[in-house]
Structure 1
Amino acid sequence: MRPTRRQVVAAAASLPLAAAAAPAAVAGQSAGGRSRTLFIAGDSTAAQKYADAAPETGWGTALPFFLDKRLRVANHAVNGRSSKSFVDEGRLEALLARIVPGDLLLVQFGHNDAKSADPARYTEPWSTYQAHLRRYVEGARERGARPVLATSVERRRFDAQGTAVPTHGDYPAAMRALAAEEGTALLDVQALSIARWQELGPEGTKAYFNWTPEEQDNTHFNPPGAIAVARMAAEALLNAGVLPPRDVRRLEDEIPESWITWPTAD
């Protein structure tokens, strides 16, 4: 059962003050009083989708529904990217050029880092994966922004007994270790999502993924799935002390699927 907003807020209020305070920013504004921006660096599970991909939906598209309007979301996640290829293509550099003090950089990679047959994307969990993630963390901090690491949302995979099976190998553990080493906020979306998939079961989870008998996509989301994962991320941002309670909203509300849109690609 999902916790109520009152329970979530109470949990956040019980955090130590040092954990609950975001550097140079409170109540959705920077130290200078302007609106902040939450940047997302990630892969297809978070990315904005276009009309030709509907109903596939990235959770980053739904995240603004759960955040105060003063906290803007700039979704730079791109299909097929890993922590390495995102850097190599100049996407991190372009993103960091837009970041200013008080902003947030939420980083979720891992799905494509594991593709060992593709040297353009592959990273090894305990070496090159962590090394690339450090570039995001250090880049944000150098610009007075706050980095936030998010473990990869889980795929839909169950064993013969109906138990949800993790699919990301050592990548979530490597990110957790790096977050602890760097003192970086961590959203453990992998743990939250696999627990939710276990609750829903093999059949129930089909309603959250871009799954049809013909396609059987067990990685990407439809609107209900994207909304569910975005809600997890928003609750995790609150519980980790990254955002104060007044920066989140609608944690208990049903979000209409009609709020999801797929713009036409340029």
Structure 2
Amino acid sequence: MALSRRHVVVGGVGLAVSAGGTAYAGSRRSRTVWIAGDSTAAQKYADAAPETGWGTALPFLLGRGLVVANHALNGRSSKSFVDEGRLDALLAGVRPGDLLLVQFAHNDEKTEDPARYTEPWTTYQRYLRLYLDGARSRGARPVLATPVERRRFDADGRAVPSHGEYPAAMRALARRERVALLDVQALSLALWQELGPEATQAYFNWTDTKQDNTHFSPTGAIAVARLVARELLRTRVLAPHDVRRLDEEIPSSWITWPEAAA
């Protein structure tokens, strides 16, 4: 049977990808790390290579007993992901002890599109609560991740934030709901600043025909996944034995792009 875009072989939407196999805390099954998000995290296909979502690289940084199920999808906001039934589909597979990582904002910012737009301090927070409530109702742990930063620099070479009030709104919600927060926005902005305007080109989807300052190359996806893994450790969502390769080189050749079936 032909595979659809919702059923992919490696790191794909709707399919768990093992990052190990050892049971967790005496259990005979692995825990699943579910990802709900947009194109910056999503699995990419051969027709989009070398564009890479950070969710594709995350399994290389997680230890045995953890599996990644990447449901992030291009073009989705916290609102459209819910309205299209994708959160319900994801939650149907969630089991007690799993994690749900939630990263949205890039498309929530699209004021011209009512199907995706949310206002930071009202509808954005309201939709994010649906993810938190859904995970908790199934005995899973929700984790919020502020949106990874775009590649933007001012005339003086300073990395410029691009997400307006959305990161602050997510941080406030995490405090109020007592949910772990991975501050990927702040960390990625600092990383782009450290690298500078020229070096960051290699981290984004810059090719001979495209200068994409939002989506990542394999190098960038691995770097952002490393930020996510370090934050999961820092916030004690994961224990030291749950992560690996935090300070090791991960070859870009490990990233693959499945063929997209018709």
Q: Quote the RMSD (CA, aligned, Å).
A: 1.2
Q: Any stretches of 5+ residues in structure 2 without a counterpart?
A: 1-21
Task: State the Cα distance separating 1:124 from its structure 2 match.
Answer: 0.2
**Secondary structure in structure 2 of the residue aligned to 1:167:** coil
1:176 equivalenced with 2:168 (yes/no): no
The structural deviation recorded for 1:69 is 2.9
Runs ≥4 in structure 1, deviation > 4 angstroms?
30-33
Match of 1:85 among 59, 80, 95: 80
Match for 1:65: what amino acid? F
Write out per-residue CA displacement over residues 129-171 of structure 1, whole angstroms, 9 at most, x where no aligned residue.
0000000000000000000000000000000000000000000
Give yes or no for the alignment of 1:36 onto 2:31.
yes
Identity %: 74
Q: Which of the residues 45, 61, 74 maps onto 1:66?
A: 61
2:44 maps to 1:54: no
Question: Could you tell me the TM-score, scaled by structure 1's length?
Answer: 0.88
For residue 73 of structure 1, give the secondary structure of its aligned residue in structure 2: strand
Greater relative contact order (CA < 8 Å, ≥ 6 in sequence)? 1
In the other structure, the counterpart of 1:144 is 139
CA separation in 2, counterparts of 1:249 and 1:216? 32
CA separation of 1:236 and 1:55: change in aligned 2, threshold 3 A: same
- How far does the alpha carbon of each residue in 1:221-251 deviate from its partner, in whole angstroms, 9 at most, with x for none? 0000000000000000000100000000011
Corresponding letter in the other structure for 2:148: V
In the alignment, structure 1 segments of 5+ residues that lack a partner are 1-26
What letter is aligned with 1:256?
P
- 2:226 paired residue number: 231
Letter in 2 for 1:164: A
1:98 corresponds to 2:93 = yes
User: 8 Å contact 1:29–1:102 — kept in the other structure?
Assistant: no
Partner residue of 1:196?
191
CA distance in 2, matches of 1:69, 1:114: 37
Residues 53-86 of structure 1, C-alpha deviations (whole Å, 9 max, x = no match): 0000000000000001310000000000000000
